[in-house]
Amino acid sequence: MTETSQEAVPTLFRRFVALFVDWLLCLLVSGFFVPDLRTATWEPVAVLILEYAFFLGLFGQTPGMRLARIRCVSVDGGGPIGVPRAALRGFLLALVVPALIMDTDRRGVHDRFARSVITPA
């Protein structure tokens, strides 16, 4: 990206808000499978990966991203990234560390592996 397109890169705050909202939704959904969320281990993470696979793969936005007015699109064509790439992105995001390693365009390892980019909606 060039310096002029850097303005189009959503802030980390917007990305965090989107992830926070999505995580809360995942906790709510996990509550249907786990009677006590304090004992939940992998269930909320699995729901997050499935949420990303479905919503990002088909629509390019999770509910949290819609609220934060951002999208996750393919670097190849600007459309939804598809379910397999979205599931990969969700899995890598769940590992946390890939999301913390960003380049100058704020693309984490999870974005680069999934060949995706976050843009304003």
Which pLDDT belongs to residue 120?
94
* C-alpha to C-alpha distance for 83 and 28, rounded to whole angstroms: 22
Closest CA to 23 of 63, 73, 56: 63
Name the residue with tokens 């965090």: 16
CA angle 74, 49, 116 (to 5 degrees): 15
* C-alpha to C-alpha distance for 3 and 5, rounded to whole angstroms: 5
Task: Print pLDDT tens along the chain (121 aa).
Answer: 443 345 578 898 999 999 999 999 999 999 888 888 788 888 899 999 999 999 999 999 999 999 999 999 999 888 999 999 999 999 999 998 888 888 888 899 999 999 999 999 8
Share of the chain above pLDDT 90, in %: 63
For the chain, the straight-line distance linking the first and the last C-alpha, in angstroms and rounded, comes to: 18
Q: Region of 33 please: left (phi>0), alpha (psi -120 to 50) or beta.
A: alpha
* C-alpha to C-alpha distance for 65 and 20, rounded to whole angstroms: 10
Name the residue with tokens 């909202």: 21
* C-alpha to C-alpha distance for 75 and 96, rounded to whole angstroms: 22
Which pLDDT belongs to residue 106?
86
